């Protein structure tokens, strides 16, 4: 069973604290997820994450088939780092580390490190090569574009 890794870095035009407040608010995930995924947060959420927080979503990651995805926030070191791990969802394993580092007073480097195992064993490896990896890349491309747009517009000031 191969474990795949996706790492992305981007510089966001937000202060370190402002960037943390944006990413640590579960309500903001929908703002940086492509609309084509039909992403919706189903569970009530606090304004900021904490270890043990369970978040339930509805998303259509492959072939427009909706699935429930439940992630748990397993580690938080505010304002620098948090981890979410899938508990129920489309992957066999999903471990997503989010790291935030101040570049200067107005910019923050955001690093996403995802370790994942697709479903379906050997067929999942083929699907990863043909579909899944490309889709994940497009999701993070969209996230980068949205963060550039939101930070330029000052939208990170209103966080929900």
Instruction: For residues 37 and 156, give the distance between their C-alpha atoms in angstroms, rounded to a whole number.
Output: 22
Could you tell me how far CA 55 lies from the centroid of its own chain? 12
Query: Checking DSSP bridges between strand 107-117 and strand 93-104, what pairing results, if any?
Result: antiparallel
CA distances from 47 to 21, 27, 60, 115 (A): 9, 8, 25, 26
Q: What is the pLDDT of residue 144?
A: 96
Tens-level pLDDT at each residue, the chain (160 residues): 799 999 999 999 999 999 999 999 998 999 999 999 999 999 988 989 999 999 999 998 777 889 999 999 999 999 999 999 999 999 999 999 999 999 999 999 999 999 999 999 999 999 999 999 999 999 999 999 999 999 887 654 554 4
Domain at 26, CATH number? 3.30.530.20
Predicted local confidence at residue 155, as pLDDT: 54
- pLDDT score for 64: 82
DSSP 32: G
Give the integer Cα–Cα distance in Å for 68 and 74: 19
Residue 45's pLDDT is what?
A: 86
Q: Identify the domain containing residue 126 by its residue range.
A: 4-157
Q: What is the pTM of this model?
A: 0.92
Count of structural domains, the chain: 1
């Amino acid at each position: 069973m191969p474990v795949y890794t996706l790492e992305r870095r981007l510089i966001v035009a937000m202060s370190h604290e402002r960037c943390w407040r944006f990413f640590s608010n579960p309500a903001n995930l929908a703002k940086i997820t492509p609309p084509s995924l039909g992403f919706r947060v189903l569970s009530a959420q606090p304004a900021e994450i904490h270890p043990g927080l369970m978040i339930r979503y509805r998303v259509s990651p492959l072939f427009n088939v909706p699935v429930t995805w439940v992630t748990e926030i397993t580690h938080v070191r505010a304002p620098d780092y948090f981890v979410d791990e899938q508990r129920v969802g489309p992957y066999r394993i999903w471990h997503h580390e989010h790291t935030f580092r101040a570049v200067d007073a107005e910019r923050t480097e955001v690093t996403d490190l995802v370790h994942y195992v697709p479903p379906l064993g050997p067929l999942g490896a083929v699907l990863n090569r043909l579909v899944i990896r490309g889709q994940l890349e497009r999701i993070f491309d969209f996230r980068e574009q949205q963060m550039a747009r939101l930070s330029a517009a000052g939208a990170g000031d209103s966080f929900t």
